[in-house]
Structure 1
């Protein structure tokens, strides 16, 4: 039997390595920009076309490369960053593995042009699918320009699984955020399809954050600064009132390298404990500086997962630093005593010399022993207690209403019953309705107690209305008396442009008003919108974080995201008529059981289960 184990060809080995390092166009941008930073560049220009699928071109003014180095850069494990195993424990450069250039060249058409200051001419290297096509001297400016065309041209399976241009562009923008934030002293220029998305000049950290995420973020930033023998922490956290329902502005950096660290994220969240709702996430931009010998960045090919020698100690320092900053800047709420019933002490005026002593009124006929007449051996008089309970109930919830008939909403539609089965014939009684914890609506039904999630119910109602508008194309737009202007960060601006047609079909009148700026002239007539800008921003957050494939169901996804952004939130008190209206509209829906995302809207607690609880 012949031998069956053999070495892989270099081209195949490089394609396998590319699968670990180069996952999408954003991975190429990340690796090339980090190489430019390591080359000492202070100006970096990025041009991409079709979200990087067609073209990625990155130019820097760094040190450049010699002809030999330009060719060696495409060899696997060729690096100038380390020479021995000990160097792995004192790494401060962004790249060091020597895999990126070889991996990119294995799956794309790559051209490199580079020139050092001391050289008269530069070098051009052209490689396609790991095969060197040309290497020749060329004229050019100092620095390096790398052009990557037709990514994954020879790996069609990988190219097929790339997402839409909108999604891939968002990933590229995220990578730019991760290298631009820790390097505010470096100029970044980013263009997509010949349109400028970012022009980030040299500045300080606060200005860089504002340039990326918009001027509205400036008022929310709280500085964080802590120096210890183990780690130094600087940066900013956002005030609780500016927290968002979805993640996206949470950044950790160690020695200027972006990292993902769920454990440290919990430290920040715990520092915000009792300052935020359970489903809100504060912004933070935190930079850790520490001895490289105490961290291990050689964990994952993308180098975003980093291990710390003493994670528990760093966790405590992060928690204390954030908590202290919130306290110093009066973000932690002060004690606010209830003023109802308190003594009102008037200020003594200049012309008023009379001081009146407080008077105490006493009832001389009061006899505390007369209360014994109302006390029996079993406690309070039962009839009196029952009367007090009835009076208290009616004070809170009003007198009993007459039974309301719901002819068309009396039955949940078949085929949408889910777990309810025979409960689909339950009728809403129209009797007492109670809002519980500003989250659930409770109402008695024939077989027990029905609990309705108020937010999901409203989402279902709005979603079906939006879908009806999209299908009928009968747009009713309400013009704003004072149009509102909003400024978005580049990624959100591009996303809004892509879904603008669908939003207009729903009744929005939104137009571009300069770079990354939009003016909202009108909103859907079915919505009572007090702040159109806030609705649009929430819509974009919901849309970005949606698990639904936006390519297949673009209009439906816009309707889902808008319904979630516009629905009443938890923590809001509803009036009796508002609750009745919500229930009526819910049972008029085609699918009242589930939210647009398939989550339960209502459930029925059987009377038998309630009785069992009391019989235990």
Structure 2
């Protein structure tokens, strides 16, 4: 029998390795930015076209590479940071430049230009699908410039799995946020399709957060500081009142490397117990510095997941540090411009002792020594004449000479009677056809038996078709707000709202002003309460960023689904009889009443025969 095991060619092995490291354009952005940081760059520029599908370029002013190093950097298993296996547990740098570049070069067109500071000329290398097209000497600034063009050009199946530009750009911006937040001592510039999206100067961590997420973020942050032998914690958490319905602004950095950890996330969430409503998530930007020997960062190809030696200790320290900071925030004095200055102690009285009041008491006075029904004569120690103690009761008798109280006229406060567990049959309306079960399901009678409807999903279907019609016909009505509503969003969130502005206006929103950080709304759809507008827009932005329906659907469909999901009545909400009947009638007037906008069942039926079988 012929041998069936064979070694893979290098270009195929490189493509397989690339599948682990390069999943989408944001993976290339992460690797190239981290390489620039390892090259000790102080200024890094990121240039993106078509969400990274056409071009990802990173330019740095770091120490560059020699012509030999530039050539070797595209070989597999080439690295400048490891000499033996023990070095894997002493890593202070980001990644292995050789492994990343070899994987990227296998699936894209790569052009590298690099020059060391002491050299007069640099090196230019062009590679297409792991094959070197050219290598020559060029004049270039010091540092390195890497351009990655036409990602997955030789693997069309992988390219077809990429999402729309909106979603891929969201992932690129996420990676840019993660790297730039971990290194506020480096200047970052981000260009998207020729326009400057971010320009981050060298700053401290707080200012870097504000530059990324908007000036309004500054007042939301609470500092966290803790220094122990095991762990050093620094950073910020968001105030509870600024929590969001989505997990957007949550960042952990271990030794200046972004990581994901559900275990540590639970530690922060537990510190907010009692401060947040269910379903709301706090923001945090936390740096953890630990001994590199106590962690293993090589359990995941992208190094976003790491393993700690003693997770329980880290959990306890992190939870107590965040809880301590929140406690300090609650008791810390604040500058309140609305307080009443008249209640403050004048400066002249700050050091003055308080005077103890003097009370004069006649210890010989006894009111029982006075005769009954006679007025007490004024004495020397009382300035005004007063009646004897019995005179306090004058006028309390009822009219006439009757002194006995008639208790038949006394009214007692009635006790509150709780309703019976079982409803009296007489109280049931004989004409009622719908009943609400556990404030979640609506039960209705039909000819063949009964119908059980999920009120939340049913209302989603009704609202979805209403919004879809309004967006298509472009004739929705809105209610004018007495005072315009001003909401604050980050730069990229504002860009999404600008894209959706026209469609949102068709649903009934009226935008009076739209700046780089604020949205002013003067009118909202009739069905939307003013207090829900901020939550609805946040959920809508999250849905668009993650593209809950895929790119095969239109933005109109996505907008209708997101608004319907946010505004539908929730499970647990009690409905009146008229509301129950209205919901049933509206559902069966829809074009597709059987499923919700997310293609989940809205109702089930049970025939009388099926019920009979239950009692056999």
Question: Structure 1-normalised TM-score?
Answer: 0.77
Is the 2:115–2:142 contact (alpha carbons within 8 Å) kept by the matching residues of 1? yes
Bigger shift: 134-143 or 522-531? 522-531
In the TM superposition, residue 477 of structure 1 has moved relative to its aligned partner by 3.9
Q: How does 1:306-385 map to 2 (within 5 A)?
A: 306-330=306-330
Structure 2 residue 85 is matched with structure 1 residue 68 = no
Provide closer, same or farther for how the CA distance between residues 72 and 505 of structure 1 changes in structure 2, counting only shifts above 3 A.
same
Is the 2:110–2:146 contact (alpha carbons within 8 Å) kept by the matching residues of 1? yes
2: CA distance between counterparts of 1:291 and 1:126? 40
Provide closer, same or farther for how the CA distance between residues 122 and 518 of structure 1 changes in structure 2, counting only shifts above 3 A.
farther
Is the 1:181–1:209 contact (alpha carbons within 8 Å) kept by the matching residues of 2? yes
Match of 1:260 in 2: 260
Is the 2:227–2:233 contact (alpha carbons within 8 Å) kept by the matching residues of 1? yes
Bigger shift: 221-230 or 3-12? 3-12
Q: How does 1:70-469 map to 2 (within 5 A)?
A: 70-96=70-96, 98-330=98-330, 388-389=417-418, 427-428=433-434, 440=440, 456=457, 458-469=459-470
Provide closer, same or farther for how the CA distance between residues 440 and 325 of structure 1 changes in structure 2, counting only shifts above 3 A.
farther
Is the 1:246–1:542 contact (alpha carbons within 8 Å) kept by the matching residues of 2? no
Match of 2:524 in 1: 523
2: CA distance between counterparts of 1:450 and 1:128? 62
2: CA distance between counterparts of 1:262 and 1:511? 41
Is the 2:123–2:135 contact (alpha carbons within 8 Å) kept by the matching residues of 1? yes
Match of 2:371 in 1: none
How many residues are paired up? Answer: 538
2: CA distance between counterparts of 1:45 and 1:511? 35
Q: Deviations over 1:554-577 (max 9, x none)?
A: 322211111223345678888898
Q: Deviations over 1:78-110 (max 9, x none)?
A: 111111111111101011373100111111111
Match of 2:379 in 1: none
1: CA distance between counterparts of 2:484 and 2:224? 37
In the TM superposition, residue 221 of structure 1 has moved relative to its aligned partner by 1.7
In the TM superposition, residue 272 of structure 1 has moved relative to its aligned partner by 1.9
In the TM superposition, residue 508 of structure 1 has moved relative to its aligned partner by 3.0
2: CA distance between counterparts of 1:120 and 1:390? 91
Provide closer, same or farther for how the CA distance between residues 231 and 5 of structure 1 changes in structure 2, counting only shifts above 3 A.
same
Q: Deviations over 1:361-383 (max 9, x none)?
A: 9xx9999xxxxxxxxxxxxxxxx
Match of 1:48 in 2: 48
2: CA distance between counterparts of 1:498 and 1:404? 50
Provide closer, same or farther for how the CA distance between residues 4 and 578 of structure 1 changes in structure 2, counting only shifts above 3 A.
closer
1: CA distance between counterparts of 2:572 and 2:44? 47
Is the 1:246–1:545 contact (alpha carbons within 8 Å) kept by the matching residues of 2? no
2: CA distance between counterparts of 1:16 and 1:116? 32
Bigger shift: 480-489 or 260-269? 480-489
Unaligned runs of 5+ in 1: 333-349, 368-383, 406-426, 611-616
Match of 1:375 in 2: none
Is the 1:164–1:551 contact (alpha carbons within 8 Å) kept by the matching residues of 2? no
Provide closer, same or farther for how the CA distance between residues 108 and 543 of structure 1 changes in structure 2, counting only shifts above 3 A.
closer
Structure number, greater radius of gyration? 2
In the TM superposition, residue 510 of structure 1 has moved relative to its aligned partner by 4.1
Residue 565 of structure 2 aligns to a residue whose secondary structure is helix
2: CA distance between counterparts of 1:403 and 1:31? 70
Residue 330 of structure 2 aligns to a residue whose secondary structure is coil
1: CA distance between counterparts of 2:508 and 2:443? 35
In the TM superposition, residue 159 of structure 1 has moved relative to its aligned partner by 0.8
In the TM superposition, residue 330 of structure 1 has moved relative to its aligned partner by 1.8
Provide closer, same or farther for how the CA distance between residues 276 and 442 of structure 1 changes in structure 2, counting only shifts above 3 A.
farther
Q: Deviations over 1:571-598 (max 9, x none)?
A: 8888898778767756765666754334
Bigger shift: 32-41 or 62-71? 62-71
Residue 62 of structure 1 aligns to a residue whose secondary structure is coil
Q: Deviations over 1:218-257 (max 9, x none)?
A: 3222221112211111111222222222222111110010
Is the 1:166–1:494 contact (alpha carbons within 8 Å) kept by the matching residues of 2? no
Is the 2:243–2:283 contact (alpha carbons within 8 Å) kept by the matching residues of 1? yes
In the TM superposition, residue 65 of structure 1 has moved relative to its aligned partner by 1.2
Structure 2 residue 542 is matched with structure 1 residue 536 = no
Question: RMSD value over aligned CA atoms?
Answer: 4.1
Match of 2:400 in 1: none
In the TM superposition, residue 535 of structure 1 has moved relative to its aligned partner by 3.2
Unaligned runs of 5+ in 2: 333-356, 361-383, 385-391, 397-403, 408-413, 612-616
Is the 1:520–1:532 contact (alpha carbons within 8 Å) kept by the matching residues of 2? no
2: CA distance between counterparts of 1:570 and 1:184? 45
Question: Structure 2-normalised TM-score?
Answer: 0.77
1: CA distance between counterparts of 2:445 and 2:6? 72
Provide closer, same or farther for how the CA distance between residues 206 and 508 of structure 1 changes in structure 2, counting only shifts above 3 A.
same
1: CA distance between counterparts of 2:58 and 2:513? 28
1: CA distance between counterparts of 2:428 and 2:547? 42
